[in-house]
A and B are shown apart, each in its own frame.
Chain A
Amino acid sequence: DIQMTQSPSTLSASVGDRVTITCRASQSISSWLAWYQQKPGKAPKLLIYKASSLESGVPSRFSGSGSGTEFTLTISSLQPDDFATYYCQQYNSFSRTFGQGTKVEIK
């Protein structure tokens, strides 16, 4: 199985900060990577698919980049609604795997 490793596990930031989360795959997954946001007690929400494509309705402050084994999710200016846990997920192969998550906390 392809392992997905996110860093950091927790990130403390302030409103207005630029935030970057990294996701590394144990083998190449081309651009078959998605990013999700999850708030406590809620279902995940798709933010980015195919590594850099913004899902409809998602604010443009979210962006994704990368290919192969290294990927990033960037929030250009952190907003109060963005404090949540973020997951990457590969869909290059069955079985699908998620990263362990990155919790973005208020500094």
Chain B
Amino acid sequence: EVQLVESGGGLVQAGGSLRLSCAASGFTFNNYWMSWVRQAPGTGLEWVATIKQDGGANYYLDSVKGRFTISRDNAKNSLYLQMNSLRAEDTAVYFCASGGNTAFGYWGQGTLVTVSS
């Protein structure tokens, strides 16, 4: 059974940092591009970042460039999102998802990040 389990969300003050993690199982993690997608309360979905299978290429939403860093550890079947200089508008549920070069096929249950101003 495919599982993506996010962790690391929480309440942080504006300007602070958080590191999200996503543990993958049930599929060959290192064969897949991986992404983060977020959803602010009561709103739609917004793609945040994507990383290639080998970590050799990363892509970011313009509003998070220079603040967020996506990374992966294929030996640990894990995906990460380092979020610095957080803003109130970064408040959202953050989903880990497979894909990014293709449609997002597998999704985690999400982790809530709340940035207080």
The 5 tightest CB contacts between A and B, nearest first, are A34-B103, A43-B107, A96-B47, A49-B103, A94-B59
Is B62's CB within 8 Å of the partner chain A? Answer: yes
Q: How distant is A80 from chain B, measured CB to nearest CB, in Å?
A: 23
Which of chain A's residues has its CB closest to B60's CB? Answer: A95
Q: Which residues on the B side are within 8 Å of A1 (C-beta)?
A: 62
What is the interface residue range for chain B against chain A?
Answer: 20 to 34
Q: Provided the pairs A43-B95, A87-B44 are in contact, do residues A95 and B109 lie with their beta carbons within 8 angstroms?
A: no
Is B25's CB within 8 Å of the partner chain A? Answer: no
Is B50's CB within 8 Å of the partner chain A? Answer: yes
Is B117's CB within 8 Å of the partner chain A? Answer: no
Q: Provided the pairs A43-B109, A44-B107, A45-B107 are in contact, do residues A98 and B46 lie with their beta carbons within 8 angstroms?
A: yes
Is A14's CB within 8 Å of the partner chain B? Answer: no
Q: Are B44 and A96 in contact (CB under 8 A)?
A: no
Q: How distant is A84 from chain B, measured CB to nearest CB, in Å?
A: 13
| Max chain A Cβ within 10 angstroms of own Cβ: one of B60, B101, B103, B105 | B103
Is B32's CB within 8 Å of the partner chain A? Answer: no
CA distance A18 to B87 in the complex (A): 43
Q: Which residues on the B side are within 8 Å of A42 (C-beta)?
A: 109
Q: Are B44 and A100 in contact (CB under 8 A)?
A: yes
Q: How distant is A73 from chain B, measured CB to nearest CB, in Å?
A: 13
Contact mask B34-56 → A, CB, 8 Å, 1/0? 01010000001111001000000
